[in-house]
Structure 1
């Protein structure tokens, strides 16, 4: 993942996936209520203009397969090369593909309710393997790059705990919302890492990107800081970025909760008034046709 584009693409995919999940999770909670809410690890697309129930699973499966192939095949030369760090990255996408493939199979065989717990276990395995391979990476991430990867491990750990909690407590809205927020956070952090670590213009002051040739026309780099003061400042900026990004995501989640709550409250009130109106009309009609009058 030592290039800007893979960080950006993967981050963008995770961000959109998390946004999709947080909106649908809140909507499901408001519609079903606390007593009937059930955690879902994927959502169907069902609108008036477009209906494709399994599109999310299909897109995740396609993305996982393409990302896996990119790691083991040297694009654009289609040359197989065994590189340990690439296979570590590819292994993460294997677990993601297993989740999407098994979930899709349970839908096709109408057995989702029977194996919903195992689907949650597969989701947990995605984050557990991501955390495991990030922590015991064959490529040493040192200096500023190492600090960004350490902060990434914190986010993945929260995703893992939330996924396990959602599996064990399938009616927990809190576990579902934390999982969605952590996925968004992962995506945003990947994008942030891509800019700060792999775009020279965004490298912190006092630090430089060491560029080295990777495969002819690709560049592989790492950021080093000239002084301890510059390194300390760069790490401090990374910590601030971590907090700012999380704050922005929490603000977004809060706004979505309030907006959707207001929308569904209005809809429910109108539905209640419509039912009450029907009850009143029915009572008036019955009183008007009492026997003996």
Structure 2
């Protein structure tokens, strides 16, 4: 996943999945807020049969392609092992990246096997307990967090700061997945989770730009290190400035994403929600007053 293109493509994948899930949970909540229930994935209802599982197939296909490129396709010898079948130090990061993706593949595969034909998608049905797909999703994000936190490349400096901020987003994904097991009807929890998935993709794309020489922070440059290209700054002041800018970027992207999501939520509820399910307080008081008068007239007639 090193370099611009690797981070960019993986980031685009997270963004697309996150936006797809955000759109579905917002529309689902707007249609029927009283019966809303969280889901770990959503079917494409425009298609029938196996095509409705496109989200899960996209995750599985993308995961397999990523693992193949990390371990075989992009390798000089077309395999990641030394002649004595041991893993060389320089290739450990590729095994770590592939292991993260392996758990995403297992999550999507399990979710597909759990589905029992529910047209809205989800992990209900069958004889296995509900929420198993959520639990597998939490495990996948937990492994991603663990492997980034204990990464063999030991990201330091500016690059390490970017990865530390990424771990915060992954942690939110883990917590939300676990919370959905206890509060399956909480819109806010699943709303935050889908935003976190989208934001993880956005930040991976931004992390990719860090490896483009033109976008290197002022006073810093890309050099070849023992584990590949890395960002090296000329002074401590340049490092402090670069880290502060990364934190500001993180906050600005988060503000833009949250604002956009809230506007989308307000728009959908305003224009597509069933009107009878959203009464103002004044309307409720007025309706209660009418009912009270009807009951009084009925009583007075006896």
TM-score interval w.r.t. the shorter chain?
0.7 to 0.9
Question: Which residue is 2:132 aligned to?
Answer: 118
What pairs up with 1:250-269 in 2 under 5 angstroms? 250-265=258-273, 268=275
Gaps of 5+ in 2: 82-90, 277-302
Cα distance change, pair 199–90 in 1 and its aligned pair in 2 (3 A): same
Of residues 95, 100, 116, the one that matches 2:103 is 95
- Tell whether 2:261 aligns with 1:247: no
TM-score by length of 2: 0.81
Give the 4+ runs in structure 1 shifted more than 4 A.
108-111
Instruction: Summarize deviations over 1:238-285 as a string: whole Å, max 9, x none.
Output: 0000000000100111111011011224x546xxxxxxxxxxxxxxxx
- Tell whether 2:157 aligns with 1:167: no
Cα distance change, pair 109–25 in 1 and its aligned pair in 2 (3 A): closer
Residue aligned with 2:138, SS: helix
> Shift of the alpha carbon at 1:74?
4.0
TM-score by length of 1: 0.84
Question: Which residue is 1:29 aligned to?
Answer: 29
> Shift of the alpha carbon at 1:168?
2.2
Question: Which residue is 1:211 aligned to?
Answer: 224
CA distance in 1, matches of 2:73, 2:54: 29
8 A Cα contact 1:152 1:186, kept in partner: yes
Of residues 201, 210, 213, the one that matches 1:200 is 213
Question: Which residue is 1:283 aligned to?
Answer: none
> Shift of the alpha carbon at 1:103?
1.1
- Tell whether 2:81 aligns with 1:68: no
Residue aligned with 1:245, SS: helix
Instruction: Summarize deviations over 1:73-132 as a string: whole Å, max 9, x none.
Output: 142767111321111111111111111111111226877334431111001011100000
8 A Cα contact 1:185 1:246, kept in partner: yes
CA distance in 2, matches of 1:97, 1:103: 10
RMSD: 2.2
